[in-house]
Amino acid sequence: MVRDGSSLASMVETVVDSATVTDMHTHLFAPELGSLLLCGADELLTFHYLIAESFRVHQMPYEQFWALGKREQSELVWRSLFEHNSPLSEAASGVVTVAKQLGCDTGDLTFNGLREALSSVATPEYIAKVLDLAGVSDIVMTNDPFDAEESLLWAEMTNHDARFHGSLRLDQLMNHYEAIIPSLQAQGYEVDAGLSGQSLAEIRRFLENWIDRTKAVYVAFSVADDFTYPHAGTRGRILEQVVLPVCKDRKLPLSLMIGARRQVNPALRTAGDSVASVSIKPVEALCRLNPDNKFLVTLLSRENQHDIVVTARKFNNLMLFGCWWFVNTDTLVEEITRMRLELLGPTFIPQHSDARVLEQLVYKWDRARAVVKRVLIDKYAALANAGWEPSHADIQRDVDKLFNRNFWEFVKR
Ligand code: RAT
Ligand code: ZN
């Protein structure tokens, strides 16, 4: 059946808009983890992306800002980004999208109006409403076993909301092993700084206990530009002798988030991290030397995006995911998504939200869908011009793979 361009476009739009999404990397938490699940205007406005942007406007001394209460911080961010400027940045304009979809009159948006429209309590009804608006069915949390508050909550919890899936985040273990030795010892694991004696076996026991407790669907850590593999140091030994074997035995992917240079400006606290472009050779070596392991990978710098797509062509145990943090902007998401589609076909995971505040799901997925629609409409139109007419079922299958199946099939492979 030959269709005109506009009916093809509207078919793609309808399919993408109605697709339910698995959000495979967030910083949201199941409601049973209580106060860890953030929502409401004050949390939305004090998202660290916005805090960083606001300092460029208000110029307040750092310590003075941090001494403010959350309500005062959010009001200052509001004044800086929404009153003294138009909210043109990706993160600031996202607040406007959230406001609109949650019923505010965005023609006359005020700080108080936003605070009234958004609930600061994550009731079951509010969670359902936000997930429904965002079209998200499944959410993967980021579970840090070295976060004291979080680990206490896990110890008390028996079951949690099945829409929220665990993932075990090992940044502390992989990047700051010496610092977490006391915490491991306090939890009953016999470890030492030199990784001698039972240490590696004990770290393995720790990892397996936490995978069971969180029912993790993958294990993850982020690294800067100092990541090498193979590596004879502490991180390399833990990776080689504990993390990779456990992931292999449990058939769990290892997710690597590469290129975050932490705390280049510590005065900005959680907003103080930056970017580094890296060598992709360690990823190649991981995939080549560990063919029975699966790797989910995202890179933070724009400069790395082409190289890593080529790497994914070489290794089918590598699944690229998301446009992370500083490349999660309209321009770069489009560039990266086109590049991935052109070199890999629909065999990658185009986006994750990285949401830290519940309502962010609404704008992050609105943006992700908009880009995927633009790119797919172009690509299907080119195919149609070449004489290959995609059917509704073809489009539905491809979109479902991009937003759901590529992730779950990789996890379960
Ligand atoms: O994007 C973010 O919110 C960052 O702060 C990081 O949390 C990053 O996504 C990460 O998972 O390390
Ligand atoms: Zn994240």
Residue 194 shares a structural domain with residue 52: no
Q: Residue 217 gets which letter from DSSP? A: E
What's 60's domain CATH number? 1.10.2020.10
List, for residues 237-251, the tens digit of each pLDDT value.
999 999 999 999 999
- Residue with token string 């941090």: 66
Of 20 and 3, the one with more pLDDT:
20
pLDDT of residue 2 exceeding 80, the answer is no
Residue 194 lies in a domain: yes
Q: Is 222 exposed, middle or buried (0-12, 13-18, 19+ CB in 10 A)?
A: buried
Split into its structural domains, the chain has a count of 2
Nearest-CA residue for atom 10 of ligand 1:
222
Could you tell me if the ipTM is greater than 0.95? Answer: yes
Q: Output the pLDDT for position 3.
A: 67
Q: Mean of the per-residue pLDDT values for the chain?
A: 97
pLDDT interval class at 363 (50, 70, 90) = very high
What is the residue range of 302's domain? Answer: 170-320
Q: What percent of the chain has pLDDT over 90?
A: 98
Tell me if 325 CB under 6 Å of ligand 1.
Answer: yes
Q: Output the pLDDT for position 5.
A: 79
Q: Output the pLDDT for position 178.
A: 98
Strand, coil or helix: what is 56? helix
Residue 175 shares a structural domain with residue 311: yes
Distance (Å, whole) CA 218 – CA 166: 8
Average confidence (pLDDT) over 388-400: 97
Q: Output the pLDDT for position 6.
A: 87
> Which ligand sits closest to the CA of 274?
1
Tell me if 257 CB under 6 Å of ligand 1.
Answer: yes
- Residue with token string 């990266």: 336
Question: For helices 360-385 and 124-134, what crossing angle results, to 10°?
Answer: 20
Of 76 and 4, the one with more pLDDT:
76
Residue 75 shares a structural domain with residue 196: no
- Spacing, Cα 26 to ligand 2 middle (Å): 6
- Spacing, Cα 393 to ligand 1 middle (Å): 35
In contact, 24 and 407? CB cutoff 8 Å: yes
Residue 350 lies in a domain: no
In contact, 325 and 302? CB cutoff 8 Å: no
Q: Output the pLDDT for position 383.
A: 97
> Which ligand sits closest to the CA of 269?
1
What's 230's domain CATH number? 3.20.20.140
Distance (Å, whole) CA 295 – CA 289: 12
Average confidence (pLDDT) over 372-400: 97
Q: Which of 78, 94, 120 is the last residue of a domain?
A: 120
CB-side neighbour CA atoms (13 Å) of 53 = 24
Tell me if 354 CB under 6 Å of ligand 1.
Answer: yes
Residue 31 lies in a domain: no
Average confidence (pLDDT) over 133-137: 98
Q: Which of 261, 295, 320 is the last residue of a domain?
A: 320
Q: Which atom of ligand 1 lies nearest, measured to the CA of 25?
A: 11
Residue 11 lies in a domain: no
Nearest-CA residue for atom 1 of ligand 1:
325
List, for residues 280-313, the tens digit of each pLDDT value.
999 999 999 999 999 999 999 999 999 999 999 9
Q: What percent of the chain has pLDDT over 70?
A: 99
Distance (Å, whole) CA 258 – CA 269: 20
pLDDT of residue 181 exceeding 90, the answer is yes
Q: Is 152 exposed, middle or buried (0-12, 13-18, 19+ CB in 10 A)?
A: exposed
**For residue 230, is the peptide bond before it cis, meaning its omega torsion is within 30 degrees of 0?**
yes
Q: Which atom of ligand 1 lies nearest, measured to the CA of 328?
A: 1
Pocket test of ligand 1: the residue of 258, 354, 360, 364 to mutate, having most ligand atoms within 8 Å of its CB, is 354
Strand, coil or helix: what is 218? strand
Q: Which of 303, 320, 337 is the last residue of a domain?
A: 320
Amino acid making up residue 108: D
List, for residues 36-82, the tens digit of each pLDDT value.
999 999 999 999 999 999 999 999 999 999 999 999 999 999 999 99
pLDDT of residue 92 exceeding 70, the answer is yes
Pocket test of ligand 1: the residue of 27, 172, 270, 274 to mutate, having most ligand atoms within 8 Å of its CB, is 27
- Spacing, Cα 140 to ligand 1 middle (Å): 14
List, for residues 303-341, the tens digit of each pLDDT value.
999 999 999 999 999 999 999 999 999 999 999 999 999
Residue 310 lies in a domain: yes
Residue 207 lies in a domain: yes
pLDDT of residue 1 exceeding 80, the answer is no
* Cβ neighbour number for residue 302 with a 10 Å cutoff: 18
Tell me if 222 CB under 6 Å of ligand 1.
Answer: yes
- Spacing, Cα 325 to ligand 1 middle (Å): 7
List, for residues 184-225, the tens digit of each pLDDT value.
999 999 999 999 999 999 999 999 999 999 999 999 999 999
Residue 337 lies in a domain: no
